[in-house]
Amino acid sequence: MELAKYIDHTILKPDATREEVEIICQQAKKYGFASVCVNQYYTEYVKNQLENTDVKVCTVIGFPLGAVTTDVKVYETKQAVLNGADEIDMVINIGAIKNKDYDYVQQDIKAVVEAAKPAIVKVILETCLLNQSEIIKACELSVQAKAAFVKTSTGFSKAGANVEDIFLMRKTVGENAGVKASGGVKDFETANKLIEAGASRIGTSSGIAIVTQLQNDKPDGY
């Protein structure tokens, strides 16, 4: 398993500086991570930093609440793609899922998927705010809307990824979409358990610690 290729190297804190983002980009190139995930302000900067590499540019849409209108998400998405985004992580409308307004949710995702082309879309469910039936429905709607991935969390709510939710999401989407685990993934043991449960991508700011720990054959203390 080439663990680095599972990792979206992430810096989404609101006070992230250009210098910190540059360091993240350099680390992603060094370790061969799948992508660098940033807020939209840094999308174009990251695109320039990662030029002529295999590392993708990932940015977030409707972040972190998902409660803006579809038109706003579409505009954000188009701007992100113009600025060089290869991957779009959008937050689902959580209130609409709670309201069982499933047509709205599906159309919200579909509109972003269409606006993102040729970039791919990962749909953030914020699983800690949903029950099992809502997670299943959100996954089904994401697949129907042609999203490339479903994703657990923003990292800004009550909790992040866990094995049970990843297993449920993978069981629901089958091979029709990827599954991204994010939020609280800080060590190799956790990342490995999530991958074994069905995760095909890991969103974390601890990517170096995770891959270094693997390379060091899980030293004492982990």
Inter-CA distances, 16 with 9, 27, 32, 167, Å: 14, 16, 22, 32
**Cα–Cα distance measured from residue 72 to residue 75, given in angstroms and rounded to the nearest whole number:** 5
Q: pLDDT tens per residue, the chain (222 residues)?
A: 689 999 999 999 999 999 999 999 999 999 999 999 999 999 999 999 999 999 999 999 999 999 999 999 999 999 999 999 999 999 999 999 999 999 999 999 999 999 999 999 999 999 999 999 999 999 999 999 999 999 999 999 999 999 999 999 999 999 999 999 999 999 999 999 999 999 999 999 999 999 998 666 544 433
Write the pLDDT tens digit of every residue in 19-51.
Answer: 999 999 999 999 999 999 999 999 999 999 999
Q: In the beta sheet, which residues pair with residue 37?
A: 10, 58
Query: pLDDT at position 218, please?
Result: 47
Q: Tokens 């042609």 correspond to what residue?
A: 146
**Three-class DSSP category at 221:** coil
Residue 213 has a pLDDT of 84
Q: What are the catalytic residues?
A: 89, 151, 180
> What is the spatial distance between Cα 210 and Cα 222, in angstroms, rounded to a whole number?
10
Model pLDDT for residues 54-85, shown as the tens digit of each residue? 999 999 999 999 999 999 999 999 999 999 99
